[in-house]
A and B are shown apart, each in its own frame.
Chain A
Amino acid sequence: MEQLMSILIGILVAGSVYLMLARSLMRFLFGLILLSNAANLAIFVSGRMTSGAPPLVPDGLDTPVGVVANALPQALVLTAIVIGFGLFAFALILAVRAYRSLGTLNTDEMRVAEPKEQG
Chain B
Amino acid sequence: MSWYLSLPLILPFVTAIICYLLRERAIGAWISVAGSAVGLVAAVALMALVLDHGVVAGQMGNWPAPFGITLVADLLSAVMVLITAITALAVAIYALSDVDARHGRFGYHALFQILIAGVTGAFLTGDLFNLYVWFEVMLIASFGLLVLNGGKEQIDGGVKYVVLNLVSTIIFLMGIGLLYGQTGTLNFADLAIKVREVENQALLTVIAMMFMVAFGVKAAAFPVFFWLPAAYHTPSFSVSAVFAGLLTKVGVYALMRMFTLVFDHDIGYTHTILLWVACLTMVTGVLGAAAQSDFRKILSFHIISQIGYMILGLAIYTPLALVGAVFYLVHHIIVKANLFLIAGISQRLTGGSDVYKIGGLYKASPFLAVLFLIPAFSLAGFPPLSGFWAKYVIVKASLDEGLWVVAFIALAVGLMTIYSMTKIWAEAFWKPHPDGIEPKLATLPGRAALLVPVIFLAVLTMVIGLMPDPFVEFATRASVQLLDSTAYITAVLGEDAIAAPVPDLDDLPTTEILEVEQ
Residues of A within 8 A of B (CB): 20, 25, 28-29, 32, 35-36, 38-40, 42-47, 72-73, 76, 79-80, 83, 86-87, 90-91, 94-95, 97-98, 101-102, 107, 110-114
- Report whether A79 and B147 are in contact in the complex, using a CB–CB cutoff of 8 Å: no
Checking B157, B160, B163, B170 against A39 with a beta-carbon cut-off of 8 angstroms, the contacting residue is B170
Q: Are B181 and A47 in contact (CB under 8 A)?
A: yes
Which B residues lie within 8 Å of A76 (CB)?
129, 176-177, 180
A42 touches B178 (CB 8 A): yes
Known contacts A94-B158, A112-B152; is-contact A87 B136 (Cβ 8 Å): yes
* A32 and B157 form a contact (CB under 8 A): no
**Docked pose: A79 CA to B177 CA in angstroms:** 13
- Asked whether B395 is an interface residue with its Cβ less than 8 Å from the other chain, the reply is no
Complexed CA–CA distance, A107 and B155 (Å): 12
Q: Are B173 and A36 in contact (CB under 8 A)?
A: yes
Bound CA span A32–B165, Å: 11
Q: A76-B177, A94-B162 are in contact. List 13 more A-B contacts (CB 8 A).
A: A25-B163, A32-B166, A35-B167, A39-B173, A72-B180, A76-B180, A87-B139, A87-B140, A90-B140, A90-B143, A113-B234, A114-B229, A114-B230
Interface of A: prevailing SS:
helix
- Contact (Cβ within 8 A) A110 B178: no
Interface centre among B132, B180, B230, B234 (most CB of A within 10 A): B180
For the complex formed, measure the closest distance between the CB of B60 and the CB atoms of chain A, giving whole angstroms: 15
Chain A residues lying within 8 Å of B336, measured Cβ to Cβ, are none
Name the residue on A nearest B177 (C-beta).
A43
- A110 near B159 with CB under 8 A, answer yes
Knowing A102-B156, A113-B156 are in contact, say whether A91-B162 is a contact too (CB < 8 A).
yes
Residues in A whose Cβ lies below 8 Å from that of B140: 86-87, 90
Q: In the complex, what residues of B have CB within 8 A of residue A39's CB?
A: 170, 173-174, 177
Check: B153 CB closer than 8 A to any chain A CB. yes
Which residue, A29, A40, A42, has most C-beta atoms of chain B within 10 A? A42
Residue of B nearest to A70 (CB): B184
Interface size class of B (residues with CB under 8 A): 35 or more
Q: Is B159's CB under 8 angstroms from A36's CB?
A: no
Q: Are A112 and B162 in contact (CB under 8 A)?
A: no
- A residues in contact with B150, CB < 8 Å: 97, 101
When C-beta atoms are compared, the residue in chain A nearest to B151 turns out to be: A101
The 6 A-B pairs at the shortest CB distance, nearest first, are namely A46-B181, A43-B177, A112-B156, A113-B157, A42-B177, A113-B156
Contacts of A20 in B (CB 8 A): 167
The answer to whether A32 and B167 have CB atoms under 8 Å apart is yes
* Most A C-beta atoms less than 10 A away, residue of B147, B156, B158: B156
With both beta carbons as reference points, the residue of chain B lying nearest to A114 in the complex is identified as B230
B391 at the interface (CB under 8 A from A): no
Asked if B17 is at the interface of the complex by the 8 Å CB criterion, the answer is no
Cβ-defined partner of B159 (8 Å) among A47, A79, A98: A98
Q: Which of B156, B177, B181 has the most CB of A within 10 A?
A: B177
Q: Considering the complex, which residues of chain B in the window 158-205 have a beta carbon less than 8 Å from any beta carbon of chain A?
A: 158-160, 162-163, 166-167, 169-170, 173-174, 176-178, 180-182
The distance from the CB of B347 to the nearest CB of chain A, in whole angstroms, is 16
| Complex CA–CA separation, A32 to B234 (angstroms) | 24
B233 touches A47 (CB 8 A): no
